Chain A
Amino acid sequence: MSDITPADMPRQSGTLDHVIHVLRANPVTLIAFGMFAFLILSAVIGPAVVPYDPLATNASNALQPPSWAHWFGTDQIGRDVFSRVIVATRLDLTISVAAVAISFVVGSILGCIAGYWGGWPDIILNRFLDTIMAFPLFVLAMGIVAALGNTVENIIYATAIINMPFYARLVRAEVNIRRDAGFVRAAKLAGCSDIRVLATQIFPNALPPMMVQVSLNLGWAILNAAGLSFIGLGVSPPTAEWGIMVAEGANFIVSGEWWLAVFPGLWLMFAVFTFNLLGDGLRDIVDPRKRT
């Protein structure tokens, strides 16, 4: 046969091999996955292993700088900052993961419908998204939480609503460019119904950019939730949460007790940074074109 087969092409490797290959090829991704594992671990077993009760006050031991007994120091009423920072991981991750999951599912469904069939659902969706996007997003989240009430669930809904347009737009665009692709028409000729074409042919191809968006959004969602608690919305004291801790610590920064605000702030940064790094690695893993 005259077709030339590139000689250096090994056989297709399994999914696990591929994940290992991506991690090995890009050490940054490996580090990001390590950081992610650490965060998950903190969220799962953190409350069980921290040295102090995050809510236990001790007025005689207030505002102590970091020491061997209190790695991150103590706050104004003597609570251990390290324990509070670790325990807060569960709450902050729950908020962001739940919010992103909701916006992913709702955004994907709306985006698929609008992108594949077009017409009036597309027009209505676009108008609706335009309206949401017409608000500065954090301000809209403020408005929603203020209106619905000051609870963790409402922070999740607000965050989900402000992130949803990104997914819907992205999926709509990805579906729309593939609507008339050759492989989609071929699938129709093979007898696939519209729903099946959408679910098995088009949507999986939208996943790589979606994964990047998910990872970035997890970061935003954490920032957003922490920002809302920082201005006194949503999570309320004495619950351990990074945003509140920074807000409370901010009052002490001008008098030099930096550890109250800096450690929760650094942890918050660490979490957001992890998700941002994770994005590129995830894209490599879910993109079959990177497989060799």
Chain B
Amino acid sequence: MLSVKDLSVMFQTRRGAVDAVRGVSFEVAKGEILGIVGESGSGKSVTSYALMRILDAGGTIKAGEVNYSGIDLRRAAERDIRDIRGREISMIFQNPRAALNPIRKVGHQIEDVLRQHARATRYDARDKAIAAMEAVKIKDAADRYNAYPFELSGGMCQRIVCAIALACDPRLLIADEPTTGLDITTQKAVMDLVRDLIRARDMSSILITHDLGLAAQYCDRLIVMKDGLIVEKGDPVQIFSQPTHPYSRKLVDATPRSGASVRDLLPAENRAPAPRILPSGQPLVEVRDLVKTYAGKAGPVQAVKGISFTVNKGQCVGLVGESGCGKSTTSEMLVRLLDATSGQIVFDGQDIAKTPARGFAKDPRRADIQMVFQDATDSLNPRHSARQAIAEPLRRLGRMRGSTLGTRIEELAGLVGLPLSLLDRFPHQLSGGQKARVGIARAVALDPKFLILDEPTAALDVSIQAVVLNLLVDLRAKLGLSYLFVSHDLHVVRLLCDHVIVMKNGEIVEEGPAALVMSQPQNPYTKSLIAAAPKPPERAAVIDQLETTDAQHSAFHDQRAS
């Protein structure tokens, strides 16, 4: 139905021409869901924009053929391709709220497409738009018709984007990272909806994602892209069990999955034996009845509703929840950047919640409690080099100067695996993984006792995430640190943590040993979180399945031979 041959896309930038896609060929059959998987900069999204000819300014298709049901999309006139967009091939995007016109009623935005492709007249457009909304399972569609995007939740906005894409019954749907930025339970709901609609309408689809697990779960066939090239094609089970290209092998390894340890995320040749860490039973941090109330417009809002938990010395505790559950507020209070409304934070036997956050910078215990921030880019001052960033705590709290300081910085760089040659670079000259290393070096510079990790890998590609997670495990063993690991991703938390706390709406709904919570969740919310996480095919099962197929094959051959 769609065939792409040797597609190359070039971007003119200020630094000259950049080849974003370099000779990509693939086909999409009728009724098939094709997954294109790759990390940032792999050219996966650009490929899809090139198919639709909606490349950003400066981008051009340099070579190749794009054929859709006999139509040459690359050479078709702009008029003709406009008729194809939205009617034959349509697209849904990441960040759904931004993908909708902020000052136009969502119903009207659906009508725009219907009217453009002559699927509705002025008189029946409203009814048809409402029908399109109902088709994507929007309740009270008639009421929502008059809503503006800012009045709807992220998941609801993505449904509207789907309604726009599907309003004219296209034959091919391209989904570009459709769930990025959505909470994990919403992510599952949206993906299930999209898959059901595609199957019900017998459409074809291309799913573009960075998440190999997600792609494997929803796609019939996968393409793995890297640096504008296709490095591997195949069915998901095949790719998960026997990746042929080293890069896809690395991606498969790095994808968190049940049963894998944190070392398993690394390529096989880099898997040093994991350090054994035995947490002592002594409490380091005891949180008691911690409450945080914000003054909202419609009265006070309780972000954290009296939670209590303990982090023992040498322990790693995971704090898991979706956005708005209060996990970030909790970590801000623990690290003493935010004052609690009430409750105690007992650190090493003293209640540190008594010291106001403003004065804590000068507190002797400041050096003992540090944090690794969520977004490595945002957490480094763009005007300070890596060296300056790491030096800051050493100067202020460690009172180090001159050569002592220089030696310590280089020691820390070695500890986190940051090449010394990069120390004088500015953040914009470093890759995401390197920035994460700088952030970690800064956090451990003063040998803290307690480190709060606030989604330290959320903004990283999965292969980098694997490396950073392992670094954190090694540091914990080497420096005897205690962690509070804050994350939305249960699979990642399980890799690092001994103990897991699940939060929802400012309350702890479940806690217990990590393995137990993952295998036998008690609370329905925990269950839904675990169920919503993408499930890549399990290795063991895959191998069984392949062996069976092989056995059948050989049995078949045997029969023929006999």
Q: Judge A-B direct contact (beta carbons within 8 Å).
A: yes
Residue pair B362, A3 in contact (C-beta under 8 Å):
no
Given known A2-B467, A12-B425, A190-B392, contact A185–B362 (CB-CB < 8 A): no
Residue pair A288, B374 in contact (C-beta under 8 Å):
no
CB distance from B76 to the nearest CB of A (A): 37
Report if A118 contacts B (CB, 8 A): no
Q: What's the Cα separation between A189 and B434 when bound, in Å? A: 21
Report if B433 contacts A (CB, 8 A): yes
CB distance from A197 to the nearest CB of B (A): 9
B370 nearest CB neighbor, chain A only = A189
Question: Which residues from 177 to 204 on chain A have a C-beta closer than 8 Å to any C-beta of chain B?
Answer: 181-183, 185-194, 201, 204
Of A1, A3, A189, A288, the contact of B393 (CB 8 Å cutoff): A189
Partner-contacting stretch, out of B230-238, B312-320, B379-387, B528-536: B379-387
Report if A119 contacts B (CB, 8 A): no
Q: Other than the known A11-B421, A205-B382, what 11 A-B pairs have Cβ atoms closer than 8 Å?
A: A1-B419, A5-B422, A11-B424, A183-B378, A189-B335, A191-B367, A192-B396, A194-B358, A205-B381, A288-B428, A289-B426
> Per-position contact with A for B401-433: 1 when CB-CB < 8 Å, else 0?
000000000000000010101101110110111
Residue pair A187, B433 in contact (C-beta under 8 Å):
no
> Per-position contact with A for B359-399: 1 when CB-CB < 8 Å, else 0?
00110001101110111001111111100010011001100
Question: Which residues from 1 to 59 on chain A have a C-beta closer than 8 Å to any C-beta of chain B?
Answer: 1-6, 9, 11-12
Residue pair B442, A182 in contact (C-beta under 8 Å):
no
B435 nearest CB neighbor, chain A only = A3
Question: Which residues from 140 to 196 on chain A have a C-beta closer than 8 Å to any C-beta of chain B?
Answer: 181-183, 185-194
**What are 27 sample pairs from A and B whose C-beta atoms fall under 8 A apart?**
A1-B467, A2-B250, A2-B433, A2-B464, A3-B431, A3-B437, A3-B464, A3-B467, A4-B431, A4-B433, A9-B429, A12-B425, A12-B426, A181-B379, A182-B375, A183-B380, A186-B371, A186-B373, A188-B337, A188-B361, A189-B369, A190-B392, A190-B442, A192-B396, A194-B358, A288-B383, A289-B426
Question: Which residues from 78 to 96 on chain A have a C-beta closer than 8 Å to any C-beta of chain B?
Answer: none
Report if B463 contacts A (CB, 8 A): yes
CB distance from B395 to the nearest CB of A (A): 8
Residue pair B426, A288 in contact (C-beta under 8 Å):
yes
Report if A283 contacts B (CB, 8 A): no
Cβ of A193: which chain B residues have Cβ within 8 Å of it? 361-362
CB distance from B343 to the nearest CB of A (A): 21
Given known A2-B464, A11-B424, A190-B442, contact A183–B335 (CB-CB < 8 A): no
Residue pair A190, B393 in contact (C-beta under 8 Å):
yes
CB distance from B437 to the nearest CB of A (A): 8
Q: What's the Cα separation between A185 and B380 when bound, in Å? A: 10
Most interface-central of A186, A190, A191, A288 (chain B CB within 10 A): A190
Q: What's the Cα separation between A2 and B369 when bound, in Å? A: 29
Cβ of A183: which chain B residues have Cβ within 8 Å of it? 378-381, 384, 389
Residue pair A201, B381 in contact (C-beta under 8 Å):
yes
CB distance from B84 to the nearest CB of A (A): 37
Report if A291 contacts B (CB, 8 A): yes
CB distance from A199 to the nearest CB of B (A): 13
Q: What's the Cα separation between A189 and B361 when bound, in Å? A: 7
Cβ of A189: which chain B residues have Cβ within 8 Å of it? 335, 337, 366, 369-371, 393, 443
B14 nearest CB neighbor, chain A only = A25
CB distance from B39 to the nearest CB of A (A): 10
Given known A3-B433, A182-B378, contact A192–B392 (CB-CB < 8 A): yes
Question: Which residues from 436 to 492 on chain B have a C-beta closer than 8 Å to any C-beta of chain A?
Answer: 437, 439, 442-443, 463-464, 466-467
Residue pair A185, B379 in contact (C-beta under 8 Å):
yes
Q: What's the Cα separation between A108 and B384 when bound, in Å? A: 21
Cβ of A4: which chain B residues have Cβ within 8 Å of it? 431, 433
Cβ of B267: which chain A residues have Cβ within 8 Å of it? 2
Cβ of B379: which chain A residues have Cβ within 8 Å of it? 181-183, 185-186
Q: Which residues of B contact A (CB under 8 A)?
A: 250, 267, 335, 337, 358, 361-362, 366-367, 369-371, 373-375, 378-385, 389, 392-393, 396-397, 417, 419, 421-422, 424-426, 428-429, 431-434, 437, 439, 442-443, 463-464, 466-467
Residue pair B429, A190 in contact (C-beta under 8 Å):
no
> Per-position contact with B for A271-283: 1 when CB-CB < 8 Å, else 0?
0000000000000
Counted as pairs of residues, one from A and one from B, with CB atoms less than 8 Å apart, the total is 106
Cβ of B422: which chain A residues have Cβ within 8 Å of it? 5
Cβ of A188: which chain B residues have Cβ within 8 Å of it? 337, 361
Residue pair A190, B431 in contact (C-beta under 8 Å):
no
Q: What's the Cα separation between A187 and B381 when bound, in Å? A: 9
Of B397, B432, B434, B442, the contact of A186 (CB 8 Å cutoff): B442
Q: What's the Cα separation between A185 and B419 when bound, in Å? A: 25
Most interface-central of A2, A6, A185 (chain B CB within 10 A): A2
B371 nearest CB neighbor, chain A only = A189
Residue pair A191, B429 in contact (C-beta under 8 Å):
no
The 9 closest A-B pairs by CB, nearest first: A182-B379, A190-B393, A191-B396, A3-B433, A191-B397, A182-B378, A182-B373, A183-B381, A190-B392
Cβ of B431: which chain A residues have Cβ within 8 Å of it? 3-6
Of B382, B421, B442, the contact of A288 (CB 8 Å cutoff): B382
CB distance from B396 to the nearest CB of A (A): 4
CB distance from A280 to the nearest CB of B (A): 15
Cβ of A204: which chain B residues have Cβ within 8 Å of it? 383
Of A186, A191, A289, the contact of B382 (CB 8 Å cutoff): A289
B381 nearest CB neighbor, chain A only = A183
Cβ of A1: which chain B residues have Cβ within 8 Å of it? 417, 419, 433, 467
Q: What's the Cα separation between A205 and B426 when bound, in Å? A: 14
Q: What's the Cα separation between A6 and B433 when bound, in Å? A: 12
Cβ of A9: which chain B residues have Cβ within 8 Å of it? 425, 429
CB distance from A233 to the nearest CB of B (A): 42
CB distance from A118 to the nearest CB of B (A): 13
CB distance from B158 to the nearest CB of A (A): 27
Residue pair B373, A185 in contact (C-beta under 8 Å):
yes
Cβ of A2: which chain B residues have Cβ within 8 Å of it? 250, 267, 433, 463-464, 466-467
Q: What's the Cα separation between A12 and B388 when bound, in Å? A: 14
CB distance from A150 to the nearest CB of B (A): 44
> Per-position contact with B for A253-291: 1 when CB-CB < 8 Å, else 0?
000000000000000000000000000000000001101
Residue pair A190, B426 in contact (C-beta under 8 Å):
no
A290 nearest CB neighbor, chain B only = B428
B454 nearest CB neighbor, chain A only = A182
Of A3, A181, A192, A292, the contact of B361 (CB 8 Å cutoff): A192
Q: What's the Cα separation between A262 and B40 when bound, in Å? A: 58
CB distance from B327 to the nearest CB of A (A): 16
B332 nearest CB neighbor, chain A only = A185
Q: What's the Cα separation between A5 and B433 when bound, in Å? A: 10
A1 nearest CB neighbor, chain B only = B417
CB distance from B505 to the nearest CB of A (A): 23
B452 nearest CB neighbor, chain A only = A189
Q: What's the Cα separation between A292 and B434 when bound, in Å? A: 17
Cβ of A187: which chain B residues have Cβ within 8 Å of it? 381, 392
